[in-house]
Amino acid sequence: MSDTLVKVDGVSKKFCRSLRRSLWYGLQDLGNELHGRRHGGNGELRPEEFWAVKDVSFELKRGECLGLIGRNGAGKTTLLRMLNGLVKPDQGRIEMRGRVGALIALGAGFNPILTGRENIYVNASVLGLSKRKIDEKFEEIVDFAEMEEFIDAPVQSYSSGMQVRLGFSVSTALEPDILLLDEVLAVGDSAFRTKCFNRIQNLISDCTVVFVSHTMPQITRICNRVLLLDHGRSLAQGSELGSVIAHYHGLSGTTEPATQEEGSGRARIESVAIHDGQWHTRSEFSNGEPFGISLHLWLPAEARADEPKLLITIAGEEGSNVAQIYEPIDAIPASEDFSLRLEFKSMPFNAGRYSLTASILLGPRGELAHVTRGSATFTIRHTYVGYAPIILRPSGYSALPIS
Amino acid sequence: MNEPVVTVYTPDSSLSNPLVMVREMFRDLFASRELAWQLAVRDIRAQYRQAFLGVLWAFILPLANTVIWIFLSRAGIVSIGETQLPYPVYVFTGTMLWAILMDAMNAPLQQTNAARAMLAKLNFPREALLISGIYQTLFNAGIKIALLIGALILLGMNPGWHLLLFPFGVFSLILIGTALGLLITPVGALYSDVGRALPLLMQFLMYLSPVVFPMPEAGWASTLFRINPLTPLLLTTRDWLTGVPPEFFGYFLVVNAVAVVLLLGVWVAYRLAMPILIERMSA
């Protein structure tokens, strides 16, 4: 089947920054609505309003999965809420063909005092399942959530992980034509996450999916198209996942890590730069390319005599370190100021943005003489986006028969 | 496989296409029947499971109110005019019926506010909240009525065949209560002022209705009592319960007809308001 299930045409939505004004505008909108006037006027912004989503268009057929990506506040969730019919667009038109299922708020409407069993019935009815259908699926839901023992205990006695598991299990029990997912795959422990993932991949095969996530590996695993939103506008979209994701990584984040300096000051790192194989400064690489790091150091004689060492850590976008370089600084020129070059044959990282923290350590206990956080950043772009931060490439492989 | 439902969202007000709107209203109303039941059962269970006194709470307040007013009149603190019925019966039936009206009136705003988290994240027929509120009001009213009828028999009242008409009185109270409650819900969900001002307003209205006071015979207060659309509802319902021929039956029918029209109107308003409310609730 190749029927178009979702059709979004030039959709825009305004939001207001101030709560007091927002409520007042709400009252005005209510008045307009009751007079039968169009929502959102003629596309003009009232004071303190901005476009949360602006002129977004796309179409999705059955079997397609669209990944919505963008930095925080780019309008992804707002767009999803419009697709779900929760809020009206201020401009444009949305057409949804078929049953819509949304995995947005897992376990919304759970009453903590009631038992898991009672809550399954309520939650499933909210999602639009009939009583008979729930009876049929009840076992399956409980099974999937792995909750047999606790199903007659009140939900307030569940751990948060258990509640989310039950919520996920109920939400995925209905068989929608259009499925809206908002960062729901980060639930439960890792075994349950894998289960969720497989469940969603099963669901996808027979419907259209709109998936919001910040985790690019998830996007590449599930989606066959992506739409990049930035400040409500559609910056790029298409089935070339890699290039759109690269565009996303190239966006300067609103929370650009500012360079921070610490340390006792007995030695200094004046600058850090990233280079390509020919020692030209560069900030974008592909996986597998040769690269180099150069540092301008100031190391007085006193520090030189104190076992100076260089420590560089490389952190991914979420801030966790993915690699480190630890080298003693020796064989150095006589001048206090000098440049240190580190060469690497192959860039090992997955697509994404990375930032460097360089430090000089002195003495046997590793006194921190100078630390510069976020002193250099670089981006890896390539069409393939893997799951793990480091992609190892074997230098050779062979297959041997086992006798 | 049957033809899939196509849903279209545009900025246009659904009032610009009334026929489609009415069809959707009744489709949603029909679709919400099971959910409404589930929600009502959930709320009633949760409410009574956590309360030691359980269903007693359905009538403790009106009962206390009755006792206070009987005390006030016996002690001579307030002088209350002659009532056709014995005063304890008058005040007890009055406060019970008033409590049913209040339940019905508070339900729409209360249900909408309680379901904020769900409304902001899930799309379900919004009518379910209203119906669920009505179910809960009916449930609580059932408890009150059982107590009321039991007490009347103990007091030696015999309503006779009029009792068969009594449920219509209760339905009218719930009808007008729901219509009025729904009327204030759109603004009430935006501004909490409404929810706070409501009890105050209703207190006033209670003293302008034949709940604890009998109808004044003359003067401006009498005119106010007569104009008050709640008067015929309360009086007729009470008359049916106690076997007295109803005095204001004509006005009673008029109020009911107006209430039906009002309810349809505010239902439309509620539907139109919902996306706007949700947008502002979570903004």
Counting Cα atoms < 13 Å in the Cβ hemisphere of A45 gives 14
Q: How far apart are CA A236 and CA A355, in angstroms?
A: 25
Mutation target to probe the A interface, by most A beta carbons within 10 A, among B6, B39, B122 is: B122
State the nearest Cα–Cα gap between A257 and chain B, in angstroms.
28
Q: How far apart are CA B239 and CA B245, in angstroms?
A: 6
Residue B77 at interface with chain A, using a CB cutoff of 8 Å: no
**Residues recorded for chain B:** 283
Q: Into how many domains does chain B fold? A: 1
State the nearest Cα–Cα gap between A361 and chain B, in angstroms.
49
Instruction: Clarify whether residues A327 and A213 are in a common domain.
Output: no
Per-residue pLDDT at B152 exceeds 60: yes
Cβ contact (<8 Å) for A82 and B46?
no
Residue A162 lies in a domain: no
Q: How far apart are CA A378 and CA A382, in angstroms?
A: 13
Residue B10 lies in a domain: no
Residue A343 lies in a domain: yes
Closest CA to B279 of A195, A23, A330, A153: A23
Instruction: Clarify whether residues A269 and A316 are in a common domain.
Output: yes
Residue A151 lies in a domain: no
Give the three-class secondary structure for A372: strand
pLDDT classification of B106: cutoffs 50, 70, 90: very high
Instruction: Clarify whether residues A66 and A208 are in a common domain.
Output: yes
Return the bridge partners of A360, or none.
Answer: A310, A370
Instruction: Clarify whether residues A72 and A214 are in a common domain.
Output: yes
Residue B110 lies in a domain: yes
Residue B70 lies in a domain: yes
Instruction: Clarify whether residues A290 and A339 are in a common domain.
Output: yes
Residue B3 at interface with chain A, using a CB cutoff of 8 Å: no
Residue A210 lies in a domain: yes
Instruction: Clarify whether residues A246 and A277 are in a common domain.
Output: no
Over residues A174-233, the pLDDT tens digits come to 778 888 888 766 666 778 878 888 888 888 888 888 988 887 878 888 888 999 998 888
Residue B33 at interface with chain A, using a CB cutoff of 8 Å: no
- 112-171 of B, contacting A, C-beta below 8 A: 115, 117-124
Instruction: Clarify whether residues A195 and A296 are in a common domain.
Output: no
pLDDT classification of B47: cutoffs 50, 70, 90: confident
Per-residue pLDDT at B180 exceeds 90: yes
Cβ contact (<8 Å) for B117 and A105?
yes
Amino acid making up residue A279: W
Mutation target to probe the B interface, by most B beta carbons within 10 A, among A25, A83, A125 is: A125
Residue B4 lies in a domain: no
> What residue of B is the nearest CA neighbor of A22?
B280
Residue A365: CATH number of its domain = 2.70.50.60
Residue A107 lies in a domain: no
Query: Is the distance from CB of A92 to CB of A13 less than 8 angstroms?
Result: no
> What residue of B is the nearest CA neighbor of A91?
B11
Q: Considering only the beta carbons, identify the residue of B4, B13, B187 that sits closest to A98.
A: B4
Residue B11 lies in a domain: no
Cβ contact (<8 Å) for A109 and B117?
yes
Instruction: Clarify whether residues A238 and A195 are in a common domain.
Output: yes
Q: Considering only the beta carbons, identify the residue of A34, A89, A125 that sits closest to B11.
A: A89
Residue A264 lies in a domain: yes
**Token digits of residue A397:** 């492989």
C-alpha to C-alpha distances, B182 to A111, A186, B171, B263, nearest whole angstrom: 24, 39, 16, 8
Cβ contact (<8 Å) for A89 and B10?
yes
ipTM comes to 0.78
Per-residue pLDDT at A23 exceeds 70: yes
pLDDT classification of A47: cutoffs 50, 70, 90: confident
Residues in chain A closer than 8 A to B114 (CB atoms): none
Per-residue pLDDT at A140 exceeds 60: yes
Q: Give backbone dihedrals phi and psi of B184, rounded to 5 degrees, phi first.
A: -90, -10
Residues in chain B closer than 8 A to A80 (CB atoms): none
Cβ neighbours around B40 below 10 Å, total:
21
> Which pLDDT score, from 0 to 100, does residue A383 have?
66
Provide CB contacts within 8 A for A399, sequence distance 6+: none
Read off the pLDDT of each residue in A35-55 and give the average, rounded to a whole number: 82
Over residues B53-84, the pLDDT tens digits come to 777 877 788 888 888 988 888 888 877 777 77
Over residues A288-333, the pLDDT tens digits come to 899 999 999 999 988 888 889 999 999 887 778 899 999 998 877 8
Query: Is the distance from CB of B73 to CB of B150 less than 8 angstroms?
Result: no
Cβ contact (<8 Å) for B115 and A113?
no
> Which pLDDT score, from 0 to 100, does residue B80 have?
77
> Which pLDDT score, from 0 to 100, does residue A187 have?
64
Full domain range(s) for residue A375: 260-380
Cβ contact (<8 Å) for A108 and B42?
no
Residue A35: CATH number of its domain = 3.40.50.300
> What residue of B is the nearest CA neighbor of A156?
B46
Per-residue pLDDT at A28 exceeds 80: yes
Q: Give backbone dihedrals phi and psi of B212, rounded to 5 degrees, phi first.
A: -110, -20
Residue A225 lies in a domain: yes
Instruction: Clarify whether residues A312 and A223 are in a common domain.
Output: no
Residue B28 lies in a domain: yes
Cβ contact (<8 Å) for B8 and A94?
yes
Over residues B229-266, the pLDDT tens digits come to 999 999 999 888 888 888 888 899 999 999 999 999 99
> What residue of B is the nearest CA neighbor of A28?
B276
Q: Give backbone dihedrals phi and psi of A262, rounded to 5 degrees, phi first.
A: -145, 175
Residue B19 at interface with chain A, using a CB cutoff of 8 Å: no
Residue B3 lies in a domain: no
Instruction: Clarify whether residues A269 and A244 are in a common domain.
Output: no
Residues in chain B closer than 8 A to A29 (CB atoms): 276
Residues in chain A closer than 8 A to B16 (CB atoms): 36
Residue B272 at interface with chain A, using a CB cutoff of 8 Å: yes
pLDDT classification of A1: cutoffs 50, 70, 90: very low
State the nearest Cα–Cα gap between B218 and chain A, in angstroms.
42
Q: Exposure string (b/e) for A309-326, b if CB count within 10 Å is 16 or more?
A: bbbbbbbbbeeeebeeee
Instruction: Clarify whether residues A243 and A266 are in a common domain.
Output: no
Residue A307 lies in a domain: yes
> Which pLDDT score, from 0 to 100, does residue A252 have?
58
**Token digits of residue A196:** 């969720």
Full domain range(s) for residue B200: 16-281
Residue B27 lies in a domain: yes
Higher-pLDDT residue of B179, A382: B179
Instruction: Clarify whether residues A279 and A232 are in a common domain.
Output: no
> What residue of B is the nearest CA neighbor of A89?
B11
Q: Into how many domains does chain A fold? A: 2
Q: How far apart are CA A374 and CA A19, in angstroms?
A: 36
Return the bridge partners of A229, or none.
Answer: A234
